[in-house]
Amino acid sequence: GANIDPAEYPLAMTPNDPGFHDLSGIKGGPRVNATFVTLARNSDVWEIAKSIRQVEDRFNRRYNYDWVFLNDQPFDDTFKKVTTSLCSGKTHYGLIGEEHWGFPDFIDQEKAKKVREDMKERKIIYGDSVSYRHMCRFESGFFFRQPLMMNYEYYWRVEPSVELFCDIHYDPFRFMHENGKKYSFVLSLYEYIETIPTLWDSVTKFMKNHPEHIAEDNSMGFLSDDGGKTYNKCHFWSNFEIGSLSWLRSKAYIDYFESLDRDGGFFYERWGDAPVHSIAAALMLPKDQIHFFNDIAYYHVPFTHCPTGEKLRTDLKCHCDPKNNFDWKGYSCTSRYFEVNGLEKPEGWQDQTD
Ligand code: GDP
Ligand code: MN
């Protein structure tokens, strides 16, 4: 295992790239300290089973990374049996403590309740849900410091009912590690403003109080069209994430989360963990530490990321319809990401704009 030299196994992205080695038979080849992580309820068992099966078939059966499952209720035997049988790596099951899943004492319960009633009337998605708010706050500020997660340096978030459409021939964790990447995405879009009306005010306050945490070469251009005055609502979709746990556990990120949390928007509005993570990454990481995985093909209702480039799709045995690729359509922010980073869009993007 550890005596295999990573240099002998360069990161080749497809079987046709020079230096490609199929790591299948090489148990214990170069590995990164990383885990899959899933937050789920017991009732999600069959939907997460589908997700795990695809992640294993397309990638992890050759790498056997661990999988951490987290829940605010104890996992039942069926959940543990089914998921353990499907995962090729070790599985771990964690119960989330009340201090990470509930109302902090500085929240005015009456005010929060009125907000939920009002959002219900206005038919805002999940607007009346208490558990959804706990979930978003947990994913924003606590998943990466659960005791089980403290053993790892990188995570890959997997939700129930997602799909992977292409083979993954290299180790994305290793890619992140070797290239100094801290955060990654496959889909980006605009947030519903009704769920985050004052999030940007809160972020602005944080930036003023903590200029030391703002990266010099940041991605403000991804978040704002007027140099930071207003938020354009662009965010990375956080139901897929491969990222650095050390970064989320850094003083910068914790200061950011605590500042936002104090302002109460997880309960007085319905702040999602997607804009919260995305804004953090865009402001506190240098541009080149955020990565777009064109070659990881992904679906979470209702959006698909199907890799741009016909050769790539056939090399990777993809089974997604390229017409469904969301990247270059009007409601995606991925074009903006490319522009901000001065990246050239992959060949064939023009055919997928509508
Ligand atoms: P959506 O993708 O925004 O529609 O939200 P989901 O319903 O998919 O929830 C996001 C993630 O949190 C999924 O992994 C869910 O399984 C998980 N989740 C949502 N609500 C709860 C909850 O109340 N308890 C637990 N344990 N997990 C939850
Ligand atoms: Mn989901």
Q: What is the CA radius of gyration of the chain?
A: 20
The residue-averaged pLDDT of 139-155 equals 98
In whole angstroms, give the CA distance from residue 242 to residue 111. 35
Q: Does any ligand 1 atom lie closer than 6 A to the CB of residue 43?
A: no
Ligand 2 centroid – CA 249 distance (Å): 24
Atom of ligand 1 nearest to the CA of 47: 16
Q: Residue 227: left if φ>0, alpha if ψ -120 to 50, beta else—which one?
A: left
Q: What is the pLDDT of residue 9?
A: 61
DSSP E strands, the chain: 34-39, 66-71, 91-95, 154-157, 163-164, 183-185, 188-190, 234-236, 241-244, 290-292, 298-300, 303-305
The average confidence (pLDDT) of the chain is 94
Atom of ligand 1 nearest to the CA of 70: 26
Ligand whose nearest atom lies closest to the CA of 93: 1
Ligand 1 centroid – CA 331 distance (Å): 24
The residue-averaged pLDDT of 204-214 equals 98
Smallest CA separation from ligand 1 atom 12, residue? 39
Q: How confident is the model at residue 5 (pLDDT cuts 50, 70, 90)?
A: low
Nearest C-alpha neighbor of 339 from the set 191, 219, 176: 219
Residue 218 CA: distances (Å) to CA of 175, 180, 245, 272:
21, 15, 19, 21
DSSP annotation string for 160-177: TT-EE-S---S-HHHHHH
What contacts 248, CB < 8 A, 6 or more positions away?
144, 145
Ligand 1 centroid – CA 223 distance (Å): 25
Atom of ligand 1 nearest to the CA of 300: 2
At 348 the three-state DSSP class reads: coil
Q: What is the pLDDT of residue 352?
A: 87
> Above 60 in pLDDT, residue 126?
yes
The residue-averaged pLDDT of 42-63 equals 97
Top pLDDT among 12 and 126 is at 126
DSSP annotation string for 259-284: HHHHHTHHHHS---HHHHHHHHHHHH
Ligand 2 centroid – CA 16 distance (Å): 34
The string of pLDDT tens digits covering residues 284-336 is 999 999 999 999 999 999 999 999 999 999 999 999 999 999 999 999 999 99
Q: Does any ligand 1 atom lie closer than 6 A to the CB of residue 71?
A: yes
Q: What is the pLDDT of residue 351?
A: 86
Q: How confident is the model at residue 3 (pLDDT cuts 50, 70, 90)?
A: very low
The string of pLDDT tens digits covering residues 76-85 is 999 999 999 9
Token duo for residue 228: 């930071």
Q: Indicate which residue of 56, 139, 191, 241 is catalytic.
A: 241
Q: What is the pLDDT of residue 339?
A: 97
Smallest CA separation from ligand 1 atom 14, residue? 159
Q: Judge whether 328 and 345 are in contact, CB under 8 Å.
A: yes
Q: Does any ligand 1 atom lie closer than 6 A to the CB of residue 39?
A: yes
Ligand whose nearest atom lies closest to the CA of 37: 1
In the residue annotation, 258 being an active-site residue is answered as no
Q: What is the pLDDT of residue 20?
A: 66
Q: Does any ligand 1 atom lie closer than 6 A to the CB of residue 282?
A: no
Handedness of CA 144, 77, 57, 46 (dihedral sign): negative
Q: Does any ligand 1 atom lie closer than 6 A to the CB of residue 140?
A: no
The string of pLDDT tens digits covering residues 237-283 is 999 999 999 999 999 999 999 999 999 999 999 999 999 999 999 99
The string of pLDDT tens digits covering residues 170-190 is 999 999 999 999 999 999 999
Q: How confident is the model at residue 354 (pLDDT cuts 50, 70, 90)?
A: confident
Atom of ligand 1 nearest to the CA of 71: 26
Atom of ligand 1 nearest to the CA of 272: 3
Ligand 1 centroid – CA 71 distance (Å): 10
In whole angstroms, give the CA distance from residue 99 to residue 337. 36
Q: Judge whether 316 and 167 are in contact, CB under 8 Å.
A: yes
Instruction: Output the pTM of the full model.
Output: 0.94
In whole angstroms, give the CA distance from residue 208 to residue 200. 12
Q: Pairing state of beta strands 303-305 and 298-300?
A: antiparallel
Smallest CA separation from ligand 1 atom 15, residue? 40
Task: Give the rounded percent of residues in the chain with a pLDDT score beyond 70.
Answer: 93
* Residue carrying the six token digits 């306050």: 205
Q: Does any ligand 1 atom lie closer than 6 A to the CB of residue 160?
A: yes
The residue-averaged pLDDT of 92-102 equals 97
Q: Judge whether 98 and 58 are in contact, CB under 8 Å.
A: no
> Above 70 in pLDDT, residue 113?
yes
Q: Does any ligand 1 atom lie closer than 6 A to the CB of residue 48?
A: no
Q: Does any ligand 1 atom lie closer than 6 A to the CB of residue 45?
A: no
DSSP annotation string for 57-116: HHTGGGT--EEEEEESSPPPHHHHHHHHHH-SS-EEEEEPPGGGSS--TTS-HHHHHHHH
Ligand 2 centroid – CA 342 distance (Å): 31
> Above 60 in pLDDT, residue 142?
yes
Cα 202–chain centre separation: 22
